[in-house]
Amino acid sequence: MITLHRAPWVLPISSPVIADGAVIVDDEHILAVGAYADLRHGAYARIVDHGSRILMPGLVNCHCHLELSAFAGLAQQPVEPGNMPAWIASLLKLRASTGDADIEICEAALAAQYADGVGLLVDIGNAPCPRAGGYGGVDVQYFTELLGLSRQGTDHGLKTLADNDAGHKFTCHAPYSTSSALLQAVKGRARLAGQLYPIHVAESRDEVEFLHTGQGRFRIFLEERGVWDGSFAAPGTGAISYLARLDILDDRTLCVHCVHLDDHEIDLLAQKNARVCLCPGSNRFLGVGQASPAKMLAAGIRPGLGTDSVASNPELSMWREMAILAADHPELDPATILAMATLYGAEALGDKGKGRLEAGSTSRLLGVGFEGQEPLEFLVRDHDAKDVIWL
């Protein structure tokens, strides 16, 4: 059934805002986007006028750990700013005592994401997800995360890879928690299968120190956990330089966080066409610092955004991520911030049918209640929950 949706504001994202716009859809795809005056004369089965709504694509959450949804309490307590090892230790202690969220809690978290306007999400977990592939209305890209810096940890990770067929998607936690052999084995497998490879990168100063020197709070943390066997040789560089040296950066590698990069590493990311996901809410909560989106954009990188989990973020809201980014980086224009939460995220995940309103993209549109004259400012700077419907 061909439907014309009319609204006072249509935000295609990949092209400028249209006042009094229209989106024509069939049951699966967008057929046309433009001014209502240009599209109104056609044979439509249905014309729907969305009086006071913005029409836009669904949001794309590029980084989340739904299995940590039971640990919301962690992000409700103060942390020592910037002390990642201490936060990880508290998380591991909680996980050991209570276990991860069961499937009902994960599904509730996902349903909340959908109700908030998220249509595509990357979920990373340590246990295989029983509902991988899409549930609760959101398209989910699920990855099982491997890590292991010691010889024993590496062998365990390699065995897990060998025990699973190529359709099972794996990724690695981070360069400071995963040996070079395991980082390369998982990337090699993902590359062969054409799969995305999300990885936490350059999140904290502790990580930078550990990769440069093999010392610092992460070294102490690993020793205290009994997983330091001396086999890890610090590369003596930052995380991105290290991943480049291991031939891990390409257009299917999604570098998550990217807070502590020097200019050379930003250039390296751009040269390799590697993808980036920023998590401003989690970074703010943990006090690890702020990424440099303006420099990345100037280098030609188009970062997506992610909420990370409730263990490091008091609220899982992509609207709030945009508002934090806008507050932290007043130099960014609202259209770019909205593109990061939609189009750039979908590009980073390799999904060409989402994140934009164009002929051929998904007919599942978002309608956001709004009465005013500055829709971009409203969407990007307003922290409050939105009146969101899916069309």
Residues that bind Zn ion (CB under 5 A): 308
Q: Which is nearer to Zn ion, 63 or 217 (CB)?
A: 63
**Helix axes of 205-213 and 217-224: crossing angle, nearest 10 degrees:** 80
- Write down the least CB distance from residue 232 to Zn ion, Å: 21
Q: Which is nearer to Zn ion, 209 or 308 (CB)?
A: 308
Q: Which is nearer to Zn ion, 142 or 370 (CB)?
A: 142
Distance CA 326, CA 333 (A): 8
Using alpha carbons, select from 340, 302, 330, 377 the residue that is nearest to residue 61. 340
Q: Which is nearer to Zn ion, 308 or 347 (CB)?
A: 308
- Write down the least CB distance from residue 198 to Zn ion, Å: 9
Report how far apart, in Å, the C-alpha atoms of 316 and of each of 75, 241, 288, 311, 312 are: 11, 31, 18, 10, 10
- Write down the least CB distance from residue 130 to Zn ion, Å: 20
Q: Which is nearer to Zn ion, 36 or 170 (CB)?
A: 170
Q: How many CB atoms are closer than 10 A to CB 161?
A: 17
Q: Which is nearer to Zn ion, 311 or 357 (CB)?
A: 311
- Write down the least CB distance from residue 63 to Zn ion, Å: 6
Q: Which is nearer to Zn ion, 154 or 313 (CB)?
A: 313
- Write down the least CB distance from residue 145 to Zn ion, Å: 9
The contacts of residue 111 (CB under 8 Å, 6+ apart) are 136, 137
Could you give the 3-state DSSP secondary structure of residue 391? coil
User: Facing residues of 23 across strands?
Assistant: 5, 33
Q: Are 369 and 327 in contact (CB under 8 A)?
A: no
Distance CA 255, CA 62 (A): 10
Residue 320, token pair as written in the block: 């709030």
- Write down the least CB distance from residue 65 to Zn ion, Å: 6
The angle subtended at Cα 161 by Cα 157 and Cα 163, nearest 5°, is: 115
Q: Which is nearer to Zn ion, 308 or 321 (CB)?
A: 308
Q: Are 143 and 171 in contact (CB under 8 A)?
A: yes
Distance CA 274, CA 252 (A): 7
- Write down the least CB distance from residue 84 to Zn ion, Å: 11
- Write down the least CB distance from residue 279 to Zn ion, Å: 7
